[in-house]
Structure formats: structure tokens, C-alpha cells
Amino acid sequence: MPALAVADALRTDGARVIFIGSDRAEAELVPRAGFEFERIEVEGLDRSNPLRALRAVAKSIAATFTAWKMIGQMRPAAVLAGGGYVAGPVGAAAVLRRIPLILTEADSHLGLTNRLLAPFARRVCLAFDLAGRSGQRYLVTGRPIPPQVNDGGAARARFGLSADDRVVVVVGGSLGARSINEAAIEAFGANSDLVVIHAAGERDLASLTARPRGANYQLFGYIDSFSEALVAADLVVSRSGGSVFEIAAAGRPAILVPYPHAAADHQAGNARWMEQAGAATILADEQLTAERLSSEVERLLGNPELLAAMARASASIARLDATALVAGELQAAGGGR
């Protein structure tokens, strides 16, 4: 999603943008957004299984050669690598082809791919100010996000809501979060006094659809215009990946449940960023139950002054210029081509 946001900004300025990715979510989202998409075969590094790790390394080497050929044919002015295992071969191929490379890091920890590529990059655009990552090579930009919706009334109308409804948005990331999904539907499925907009992810959608829930419980696999759901909300319950930047851009208070197995526990760091600003409270995943979630939601919704203060704090830490900054770095690296 950060890459799509930057790509939209570049396309608006007349650039041709081509994505290279794998068969994960980008294979569907990128063509749907109207961008060219080329596929390479690559997989993540399994650090607990040596055989799978060797297979991943072999695929990465082959993918680097494939990406080298692709970039040679495309002759891009610059390459943007967004971290993760797909970005490794493409970034390496750009370095080998002497194409200017820009990196983005969306979390509070510099991932393995970005650590390996950083010495060769023109610029590393950071979502957070990271210890030990300073100097001209590094620039704190925030995380690029799609254009945001600002009209809360229109957003509520889209979901069939009134101005008086108490609205909670629940989201667990692109794949969903089983612990959040289970706690939310158990806590609020039959609650007629609360409107819940729940983006559960496709993995758990079928099982959740079969569960009892009232008319006020709106269940989705994926919400195309997520910012509309956010500005319609009084409170957001979420994992604390890149979504924290969208929550802040919408100026919404949040209950964050960091994914406990994230690399270097970066979701906990993301969550602390919002908590320290006064914009969020944190629930540990192992402590998440329907009763605990319901109690925390009611505590916050029942205190309008606290909720409003959290909303102001959330808006105060938003980085609405992140997309333009990263796009500008890419254009500068490309020399205006």
C-alpha cells in the first residue's frame, strides 16, 4: 500500500510506473490500481527450518537474475524498494545495473532486506527516527499512505450510519488477525448498541460469516477505501503495523494489539509511538479476550473528553506529506526523467 500511494503520486506527475512483485496481495492490488505488474518467484526466509531457508536463498538468487534481466529491458530512471523479501532481488538487480535505488522502511525496525541494501541506496526513507540510522543517507519521511477521506458525514452515510451511532472499526491487517477477529465477534456480535465495521481479512471471513451477529455488525474481508471506514469511526481496534499511520492521518484514537511474532517486535514499537503521544492504548495479544476488549472499548467510548484528547493526539503525529516526500526522492534520484 505505501508503494501504491507513491506510484499514484508519480503517475499524476506523468511518470510510467512498473511493479515487480510475487504472487501475494500485490498480484491482485497492483493491476486493479491500473499499474503494470511483472512477477518473480521468491519466498521469505524461514529461520527455523534450514532446508526451507536454503530453498528461499536459491529462489532469491534466481529471482535476482530474473529481475536483472527485467530492469535491463525496462531501463528505469530509478527503483523504489519497499523492504521485504521481494524487494531484495529487485534492489540487488538495480544496484548491479547501476540504477539509482531508494528504500522505504515502514516500521520501527530496519528489516533484513533494507539493512543489506542500505549501503548501496541513494536514500533510505524511514517511517520513524531510528537509533543509529542518521546522516545524509537516511531521511525520516513517515509512511506513505493513500489519499485520505476527510468528510466523516459522507463516510458514515456510505456505511449507512447516523451521526449518533457509536462506531468501532476493527482491523487486523491485510490477512486479518485471528485473535482480534475472534475477540471482536464474541464481544460485539450481538451488541445492538454499538456499530462495528470489521475488516477481518479473507482467511477467516467464511468462518466468521457463519457466526451469530446483529444487524449493526458489518463484516468485510477487505475494505477498498479504508480511510472512509476510519473517519466514520469513534474508535479503532487494530494491529500496529503500517495501519498506525493511516489511523493517525484520520485523527482517530485506537486500541492497538501488536502482533507478537513480528520481526524484532516492531509492531510493539509502532504501538508505543502512538501510546506515548497519547493517541492509543495497548493490549497484549496474549491478554486479548472478548471481555477485556469489550471493557476497554466501553471505558474509552464512555469518556468523551478522553476520547477527544486521544483523537487530537493522533492527528498531531500524522505525517500527511510522506507520500510526496518519497515520490520526490525517487524523482530526484531519477534526474527528472
User: What is the model's pLDDT at position 32?
Assistant: 92
Q: Are residues 326 and 236 in the same domain?
A: no
Q: Are residues 220 and 109 in the same domain?
A: no
Tens of pLDDT, residues 27-38: 888 999 999 999
Number of domains in the chain: 2
CA–centroid distance for 138 within its chain: 21
By the 10 Å C-beta count (0-12 exposed, 13-18 middle, 19+ buried), 255 is classed as: buried
Q: Are residues 312 and 179 in the same domain?
A: yes
Query: For 154-184, b where at least 16 C-beta lie within 10 A, e where not — what string?
Result: ebbeebebeeeebbbbbbbbbebbebbbbbb
Tens of pLDDT, residues 95-114: 999 999 999 998 888 888 99
Q: What SS3 class is residue 234?
A: coil
Q: Is the pLDDT of residue 175 over 80?
A: no
Tens of pLDDT, residues 208-250: 888 888 889 999 988 878 899 999 999 999 999 888 999 999 9
Q: Is the pLDDT of residue 271 over 90?
A: yes
Domain containing residue 162: CATH number: 3.40.50.2000
Residue range of the domain that includes 103: 2-146+320-333
Q: Is the pLDDT of residue 163 over 90?
A: yes
Average pLDDT over residues 321-337: 91
The C-alpha cell at 229 is 471506514
Query: For residues 183 and 289, is the Cβ–Cβ distance under 8 A?
Result: yes
More confident residue, 283 or 58: 283
Q: Are residues 196 and 212 in the same domain?
A: yes
pLDDT band at 174 (very low <50, low <70, confident <90, very high): low
Q: Are residues 113 and 170 in the same domain?
A: no
Count of positions (residues) in the chain? 337
Q: Are residues 58 and 207 in the same domain?
A: no
Q: What SS3 class is residue 293?
A: helix
Specify the residue for cell string 449493526.
Answer: 216
Q: What mean pLDDT value characterizes the chain?
A: 91
Q: Are residues 109 and 242 in the same domain?
A: no
User: What is the model's pLDDT at position 173?
Assistant: 66
